[in-house]
Structure 1
Amino acid sequence: PQIPSFLLLLLLLVVPEARASGYKTCPKVKPDMLNVHLVAHTHNDVGWLKTVDQYFCDAATLKAPTWKTSPCVVNILDSVVQALLGEPTRRFVYVEMAFFSRWWRQQRETTREVVKELVKQGRLEFANGGWVMNDEATTHYGAIVDQMTLGLCFLEDTFGKDGLPHVAWHIDPFGHSREQASLFAQMGFDGIFLGRIDYQDKYTREVAQEMEQVWRGSTSLQPPTADLFTSVLPNNYDPPSGLCWDIRCHDPPVVEDLGSPNYNADSVVAHFLNVAADQAGHYRTNHIIMTMGSDFHYEQAQNWFENLDKLIRLVNAQQQTKGSRIHVLYSTPACYLWELNKANLSWSVKQDDFFPYADRPHNFWTGYFSSRPALKRYERISYNFLQVCNQLEALTGPVANAGPYGLGDSAPLREAMAVLQHHDAVSGTSRQHVADDYARQLAAGWGPCEVCGAGPGDVASSAVRNMSHPRLCPIINLSSKYPHLKSFPIMTVFHGLDPFLLPTLASVFLLPWHQVVDHLVLSSREHPPELLFTGSAPALGFSIYSVTQVHKQNPQTGSSWLNPQKSQSSVLVIENEHTRAVFDTHTGLLKELENRDKKLVLPIRQAFFWYNASKGSGAYIFAPEKLDALPVSLSSETHLVKTALVQEVHQKFSAWCSQVVRLYPGQRHLELEWTVGPIPPEIGFGKEVISRFDTTLETHGRFYTDSNGREILERRRDYRPTWNLNQTEPVAGNYYPVNSRIYITDGNIQLTVLTDRSQGGSSLSDGSLELMVHRRLWSVDGCGVGEQLLEPGKDLKGLQVRGRHLVLLDTTQAAAVGHRLLAEKEVLAPQVVFAHGGGAPWTHPGNRRRTQFSGLRRELPLAVRLLTARWGRRTLLLRLEHQFAVGEDSEGNMSSPCDLGLENLFSTFTITHLKETTLAANQPWDRASRLQWTPNTDPDLHTPASSLDSAAITLQPMEIRTFLASVRWNLRGVV
């Protein structure tokens, strides 16, 4: 319902003194009493049991026969706004911009003005403010930053400084990463509120009154840059027992009529006072917070608020009638935090993270680290493609709008990627039809950004077209668009320098305009044949090649069919000048890995195993029936392929598990391309498949994983740094999220495995590493999704998944730099796309179109990466990051501060003005101010100064600096 215009005038007169947003609008408290801050809120999953559309409940959804049983976010927001107008002391907190922005677009101007005034007065407060409340285990830091930027900039554009969230609100993610804390701190948040932490951790904190502390999010960034005050909520994010008055709750309403047989006011007040007193014993100040709401609450907001009104009035009346020292009030997370800060206490410091999470014994939420591996990979590929799309859009500028094609729109993919960061999306914890819808959103988002769209509005197509040649098509669409090619269309390799594998159906040769590329190889494998060639592209740019079919035995090209044969050799080896891998000729398994440069030889055995799932396993929970994993096979059928450009060992472990171990010339890592599935249905509750590496390294129970793709954390088996662990699950309780890499070391030799998506991993015995690659379960874990994790696949017999692990052996000192750089390349792998039409016409000697383009005039320093380059809010959004941590490069200077000149750095434009912002680009850096907290370990902290010069900037180790740039275009003669 729309709000009548006359109510707007009434609202403006209700609270005339509240004219400024932020902490100045916070309600008054009583310093000599226990102040109970009631936070009315709703938690709206951006997809979970239902799709995003079904939860929002737009007009199309409302026509469905089941709409009455589904919560509707549109109803929640309508109802809350109306209820807030009914009583000026009421306050409400909202979080997910994916829903709010959609609701906002549907409102009339009168309603918008009312909402703006509610926000200005602090009665409607935004917490977190991201597009979604993102997962923290399976997300890459770049995607987190993108989705937070999308939501926070929407708030800034819509409400100005009035809509600025002061606190992060991560009440539902299933464990919390240290990198997330660092990112939030760099976005300017004053604190974070957590709902779910391990039950043993929570009990220890309650006893020690450490439910609140300072969380140090980085070991590299100088405190307090990455410090974030952290508060653990008492009831996850639910109301206290017996005090829930939503239509989805079963607690009776507050009845204060003495003549009513349902009178309960005295008992409700007494219960509340007991709850408050008990909770106060676990916190350090005379302020406590109670969450009054839960999943999709407040569809009938008046019912909730009326009961809260009564509770507040009845409890506060006890101060006069019975001398109570408890004061209860409507509040918000930010206002509660403000009172804690004014207490001026010193706080303990946390330096690890909150993984893994268990909510009770034997119930570790570590299965979702690997659930839905295909969706996890699709999300990672889409992140890559979005960056390419953004960069091309940024580099092309006004030229892309010229002529009949015009600039496209990367916003749909940006929004789809933001949705995928939700803690029930990329995590793999939604129902199947919702997971399908997430994939649909990504596919739809690729459309306007995609380089082979039928219309003129595709970003990458328009950009590359203006720089080079006609419309392009992604390689992933090649087989469907060109099933019987005699000649490949023009091919563009964007931003990369690696060998490429292309699916094809015939022997071909590669022609980069006027020069024939040497060393072409076409190898036939168990999957479709592939063309292998060495391709390259400049940084932030692309190279163009054409590919033409020739006779299968053309002597000029030397191309031929290479059918892999079963190895008859007594020695099964693949090797190049840097790396040597030896396989056991009897079992076909890898048995030795050698780094020839460092003269390191490590006995190693790699194979696939599976855990037999128990009844408690599910999309969230990893609960193996036994501690020991069973081998898929003790040996593999093995085939060897050796060519000038690649050497491969093909291993078949079973009908549903195979692998290609691959090594290219010049490559310092071993590539393991695994194919797993469909996992067969057998007696039991399912299989959870791992790839395991067993070595002779003495690791003393320690291994190392990345945090959202950035800094590294040490893990210790059966150990937690901040409490004495009672380990109830020796397997699942030692699993951690692996977003990009995991490694073990004995202090001298390091074995690292890089992943191409987020996976769960561990080291369950010294010298061993394992990564979970696939899981199929016939059980339900009872954590809410209520559906088996079966993933039907195309033929409804189960999902087949293919992925890559990159294995590196090096000295511990040398490993950090090379392994980090390779991990980043794996995340942002080259994009290979094709143009419509054949390749031959583009080889004409008179054709003057360029074959190579770079958006940079000079290469960036090795320690620096361009994290973001895209149009944002009428200016160019640039993020530059230092890739290395303090002390990470012990042999060189990669861990030192890095100076970077920005003047004339980009080839298509010149920066004329720079404005530095916080990480999410929604606040000017020089005007952002955070609350200061006093850690009890180092009271002399200060915020380091950051200098900005239009010509040069300095990046400290692990620092990300964000800028909005005005530019002058230099496109004449460049494209």
Structure 2
Amino acid sequence: MTRGCFPRWRLRSIHRLCSSCYYFKAAFGAFPSVKHPKKVLHVDTRYSCHATKPGMLNVHLVPHTHDDVGWLKTVDQYFYGDRNDIQHAGVQYILDSVVDQLLKNPDRRFIYVETAFFYRWWKQQTDDMQNTVKQLVNEGRLEFVNGGWCMSDEATTHYSAVIDQMTMGLRFLNDTFGHCGRPRVAWHIDPFGHAREHASMFAQMGYDGFFFGRLDYQDRNRRMVAREQEMLWRASESLTPPMADLFTGILPNGYNPPEGFCWDQSCDDPPIRDDPDLEDYNVDDVVTRFLHIAHGQALVYKTNHIIMTMGSDFQYENANLWYKNLDKLIRYVNQMQSNGSEVNVLYSTPSCYLQELHRANLTWPLKGDDFFPYADSAHDFWTGYFTSRPALKRYERISNSYLQVHYSNHRQWLSLKSLYTLCLRAMAVAQHHDAVSGTEKQHVANDYARKLANGWAHCQVLVSNTLSSLSGSSAPRVYCEHLNISVCPLTETSKKFSVNVYNPLARPVSWPVRLPVNGTAYRISDSTPLYPPQVVPVSQATAAVRRGRGYAVNELLFQVQAPPLGYSTYSVSLLQNGPPSPQSSPLPRAPKAVQNKFLRVTFDPETGLLSSLSNLETQQTVKLSQNFYWSRFIPVISQFLVSALTPFPCLIPHPLSPSLHQNSVVQEVRQWFSPWVSQVVRLYTDSRALELEWTVGPVPIGDDLGKEVISRLDSSINSSGVFYTDSNGREVLQRRKDYRPTWNLRQSEPIAGNYYPINSRAYIKDDKDQLTVVTDRSQGGGSIQDGSLEIMLHRRLLYDDVRGVGEPLNETSDIYPEGLVVRGRHLLSLSPPATAADTHRPLAQEFSSLPLSQPYWRRFKFSGLQAVLPPAVHLLTVSQWDQDTVLLRLEHQYQASESKEHSQPVTVNLQKLFSTLDVLGVSEMNLSANQWKDEMTRLDWKAESGTHHTGVTNQLSAYSAL
């Protein structure tokens, strides 16, 4: 490859670049050469947009359908039109009908969003039909917007999974339609609140604008009065503008048509009856009502262009109904211009509408915070879904981590590409705003989990083949997928086995491994562990939650050292069966404290609860207590809400009767709070974080009350009503109780209205201390009291929320028919605010990219890197792209000013980075890898001065992606 090569193979410094990735040619062996994307010039969309009329109010009608990739029905049921007893919807018929109708009138337009559905439909079409659709795309009559595999949720998704699903969808459109199929507009008309990091990613993917439908009712009312429903969103305070600036528009009717103008088969509005010789002629009435609506809408927008979404959920299955009436509406409204009307109506698309706004050459209000939490009325906050279906949220997160393992298995990718693709598609579908969000019907949630499980099964074949290739051994390998409840048949029954530990990070990792066993003494060979392996008894809570799926009485615990982007193998041999070793025996009374060389944790002698946390390195101590609480759920409150009632403690036995198990690897205090709430407070010997492993469920409902269960930390930190949460695992935003940065909030729900999404971490701080909690999945949380940080863990509700799902959030299973049990972990760290990021950034990264422990029968050690990346740089993606081409993303993971040492620019030498790849050439691409970086052109927008409202006090920096 000749283009894009850098002198001396050294890339320019990474410092808040974030908008790029690299696509490079690498030598693997005798592979044929790859055809690289052709260089193309930016194509202006004006040739496909209908002319507008200066001096008139131009109404842009946008025909569209909103096709959920699963909600009330599964993805498959929606595509085929199955189970219409649940909801009448068949996506394949929508696309059939729309294409047919577009061909009948060249003026017509249509936009499509969900590539997951379009891909399925496309594969079923004849060559002639595919050529016809390509022509419609080339002419701008069929336009793709957003273009990801799905329309992802913005509250509960992790940025790495969002990038993957967007890349997958956009790559298909790029490969199929070329530059004419590349979306220029992001379109999130249904997600329930909007994250700043999503806007930042969209900007770095090359989008010109972003449109959505849902925002808080108070925010909308203020913006309508101020005519600020279209704005410039500055989505990163560290990326140099306009790198993360994104024009953002709020659609006037959500994503529905104006009232009285719905002409789908699912609608009840009357058609346009335009034969004056027949009864019920209504053209004059339709035109009058439409002009009234258009003029009213124009009063709350800034230009003489307004947009109307003409469509809704799964509409256009019979597209003739819509288009026949839209044709008439355009004709009869525009005829009124001869009588002095100044309204011009036209078929349009979001990119054509955006183009006209840009031509207006106005200045736009500037926004710097996000759009959480979202409420559609005074007592309807959509914040409980930040935690809904916590087991699915965890499964999605570890599936994302698991998928990253397979990204780096280059050698097997070509022969097993179909297996890898199944994994990727399952994860991509899971990012949908009714998937990982937990807002779907139960049978649909089960289908998402089934798809993830199938993806796991196929990816395991890929990993096994890769290990066989690298090690030269075809020995069988066993995957233990239930280690969180100490179940693994191989380790429970074998006297000798080996364990592969894969580390997807670009730096060495030391990590504790816990394996279920029945022996009491073991030897670990082929390693030089800092501490000998230990055996601890399986906890009572773990034994109860297994429900007969395993019978190990002990857990083998040892520390592993995993090389960057590589594997370590540990051989385990049984030495002894018998009673537990003395050092692991529980103490008969509550411990006063546990301590390692970094932290000291004390417990209240009367209650057994946490009482303080000390950082021994920095000589900090804060008072800290932790307890579990639950709040009632009553039917007037939405399923998506946190209850309005003040939470009160679960029934807690006094004393708590904790037990301490300690050895050279770990000290753990096991606590019982109630028959359905337990916890292990765990401090590993080399850890700078305290682990809280909580187990909640089955949540009792015998009192006919739904319950929302939280873990609350109460500290001596003077937080002054302020706390901080991450945005999709990346940048951190400041949150303030009962406050919104862009309007004067009238708080109606003191709890629900103060909950925010937490994807990886949250913290409170004052001048001296910062207490950070790192989560293992997306959850909701808040700081309702000063010095307090609470995180919702589990929800079980008995009433429907009247938001369309038609069933309560009451999860059960065959194993847990009386209610789902959920287990998870939080990591707590205490640091001075100035250096806290040096601790919580690596912790969050490790929690999102957990090493994979895999028992098997041979020995092997491997690292894919010959040089460790600097601490500030994270290897986000390294995946086979084509035969001899690899897609690489590196990110600068520290925000500006959050670390004196690690927030500085970093230089990376790619030629000396990989141990198995010879880098022959490099070309820079945008974040979604569907466009060369030097060809990415975006519209420039001017911001009004003095309109940038933000809840962040310190300057923040985004990441860099190569």
Matching residue of 2:851:
830
Find 2:589's aligned residue among 555, 559, 568. Answer: 568
Question: Is the Cα–Cα contact under 8 Å of residues 552 and 560 in structure 1 kept in the other structure?
Answer: no
Letter in 2 for 1:325: E
- CA drift of 1:260 comes to 2.3
Name the SS for the 2:316 alignment partner. coil
Equivalent residue number for residue 804 of structure 1: 825
Which piece of structure 1 moves more, 794-803 or 351-360? 794-803
Match of 2:9 in 1: none
* Cα separation, 1, equivalents of 2:240 and 2:946: 12
> Amino acid of the residue matched to residue 145 of structure 1?
I
2:172 alignment partner, one of 154, 174, 194: 154
Match of 2:873 among 864, 873, 884: 864
Match of 2:389 in 1: 372
Report whether the alignment pairs 1:489 with 2:497: yes
> Which residue of structure 2 aligns with residue 434 of structure 1?
444
Establish whether residue 600 from structure 1 lines up as the match of residue 623 from structure 2: no
Once the 2 structures are TM-superposed, how far is the Cα of residue 928 of structure 1 from its aligned partner?
1.0
* Residue 689 of structure 1: aligned partner: 709
Q: Which residue of 1 aligns with 2:50?
A: 27
How far apart in 1 are the matches of 2:839 and 2:87?
54
Work out whether residues 616 and 780 of structure 1, in 8 Å CA contact, stay in contact via their aligned partners in 2: no
State whether structure 2 residue 149 is matched by structure 1 residue 131. yes
Structure 1 position 465 matched with structure 2 position 465 = no
Alignment equivalent of 1:299, drawn from 317, 320, 333: 317
* Deviation at residue 572 of structure 1 after TM alignment: 2.0
* Alignment-mate amino acid for residue 907 of structure 1: S
C-alpha deviation, 1:957, in angstroms: 5.2
**Residue in structure 1 matching 2:217, options 189, 195, 199:** 199
Aligned to 2:433: 423
Partner of 1:75: 93
Match of 2:939 among 921, 931, 935: 931
1:328 aligns with 2:345: yes
Correspondences of 1:808-823 after superposition (within 5 Å): 808-823=829-844
Q: Per-residue deviation at 1:20?
A: 7.1
Give the Å deviation of 1:632: 4.0
The residue aligned with 2:887 is 877
Aligned pair in 2 of structure 1 residues 561, 371: CA closer, same or farther (>3 Å)?
farther
Contact 2:492 2:516 in 1 (8 A): no
1:475 aligns with 2:488: no
Partners of 1:181 and 1:228 within 8 A in 2: yes
Question: Relative contact order, CA 8 A, sep 6+: which one is greater?
Answer: 2
**Structure 2 counterpart of 1:498:** 511
- CA offsets per residue over residues 43-62 of structure 1, 9 Å max, x none? 0000000000000017xx4x
**Using the alignment, how far apart are the partners of 2:140 and 2:62 within structure 1?**
13
Question: In structure 2, do the counterparts of structure 1 residues 734 and 634 end up closer, same or farther at CA, with 3 Å as the change threshold?
Answer: farther
1:150-186 CA distance string (max 9 Å, x none): 0000100000001010000000000000000000000
Q: Secondary structure at the match of 1:229?
A: strand
- The match for 1:46 is 69
Residues 1:853 and 2:858 aligned together: no
Where 2:699 maps in the other structure, the secondary structure is coil
Deviations 1:88-118 (A, max 9, x none): 1000000000100010000000000000000
How much does 1:259 deviate?
Answer: 2.6
Aligned to 1:274: 292
- 1:732 counterpart = 2:752: yes
Q: Deviations over 1:489-544 (max 9, x none)?
A: 32100114211112223335243337688522111122253110011111100101
The separation in 2 between residues aligned to 1:294 and 1:53, in whole angstroms, is 20
CA deviation vs aligned residue, 1:378-403 (integer Å, no higher than 9, x gap)? 00000000001111x23x368x86xx
Give the C-alpha shift of residue 258 in structure 1. 1.6
2:928 pairs with 1:910:
no
- Quick one: which amino acid aligns to residue 248 of structure 2? T
SS at match of 2:59: strand
One-letter code aligned to 1:447: A
Select the residue among 53, 78, 84 that pairs with 2:102.
84
Task: Map 1:486-885; keep pairs closer than 5 Å.
Answer: 486-495=494-503, 496-513=509-526, 518-524=531-537, 525-526=539-540, 527-528=542-543, 529-552=554-577, 560=581, 564-565=585-586, 567-568=588-589, 572-624=592-644, 626-633=645-652, 635=654, 636-793=656-813, 794-835=815-856, 837=857, 842=858, 851-874=860-883, 875-885=885-895
Question: Per the alignment, do residues 32 and 465 of structure 1 end up closer, same or farther by CA in structure 2, a change over 3 Å counting?
Answer: same
Q: Secondary structure of the residue that 1:307 maps to in structure 2?
A: helix
**Separation in structure 1 between the aligned mates of residue 916 and residue 787 of structure 2, nearest angstrom:** 50
The alpha-carbon deviation at position 773 of structure 1 amounts to 0.2
* Preserved contact between residue 263 and residue 322 of structure 2 (Cα < 8 Å): yes
Asked if 2 retains the 8 angstrom alpha-carbon contact of 1:135 and 1:423, the reply is yes
Deviation at 1:961, TM superposition (A): 2.8
Bigger drift between 334-343 and 819-828 goes to 819-828
Paired with 1:383 and 1:273, the residues of 2 have a C-alpha distance of 49
Whether 1:901 and 2:909 are equivalent positions in the alignment is: yes
CA RMSD of aligned residues (A): 2.0
Q: 1:531 to 1:353 in 2, by over 3 A?
A: same
Cα deviation, residue 807, structure 1: 0.7
Tell me the alpha carbon deviations over residues 782-807 of structure 1, each in whole angstroms, 9 at most, x when there is no partner: 11111110101323110000000101
Specify the code of the residue in structure 1 equivalent to 2:722. Answer: R
| Residue equivalent to 2:8 | none
Q: Paired residue for 1:142?
A: 160
Secondary structure of the residue aligned to 1:86 is coil
Gaps of 5+ in 2: 1-41, 504-508, 544-553, 948-955
Once residues 788 and 85 of structure 2 are traced to their aligned partners in structure 1, the CA distance between those partners, rounded to angstroms, is: 51
In the alignment, is the contact (CA less than 8 A) between 1:245 and 1:253 conserved in 2?
Answer: yes
**Cα gap change, 1:731/1:68 in structure 2, threshold over 3 Å: closer, same or farther?**
closer
Shift of residue 34, structure 1, vs aligned partner? 0.4
Q: Deviations over 1:248-296 (max 9, x none)?
A: 1110101011232222111111000000000000111110000000000
- Measured in 1, the distance between the counterparts of 2:231 and 2:476 equals 55
Is 1:171 the equivalent of 2:181? no
Residue identity matched to 1:703: F
Structure 1 pair 407–95 and aligned structure 2 pair: CA distance change class (3 A): closer
Amino acid at match of 2:359: K
Query: Can you list the C-alpha shifts for 1:351-387, whole angstroms capped at 9, x where unaligned?
Result: 0000000001110000100000000000000000000
Q: Matched residue of 1:621: which SS?
A: coil
| 1:561 CA displacement | 7.2
Quote the sequence identity (%). Answer: 50
The residue number in structure 2 matching 1:959 is 959
Distance 1:274 1:185, change over 3 A: same
Correspondence for 2:12? none
Shift of residue 408, structure 1, vs aligned partner: 6.9
Once residues 198 and 225 of structure 2 are traced to their aligned partners in structure 1, the CA distance between those partners, rounded to angstroms, is 26
Query: In structure 2, the residue corresponding to 1:184 is in which secondary structure?
Result: helix
2-structure distance, mates of 1:476, 1:145 = 26
SS of 2:320's partner is: helix
Per-residue Cα deviation, 1:848-868 (whole angstroms, up to 9, x for no partner):
x6x321101110011001100
Which letter maps to 1:417? M
Structure 1 gaps of 5+ residues are 1-18, 451-457, 843-848, 940-955, 963-975
* Rounded Cα–Cα distance in structure 2 between residues aligned with 1:292 and 1:854: 54
1:566 Cα deviation (Å)?
5.0
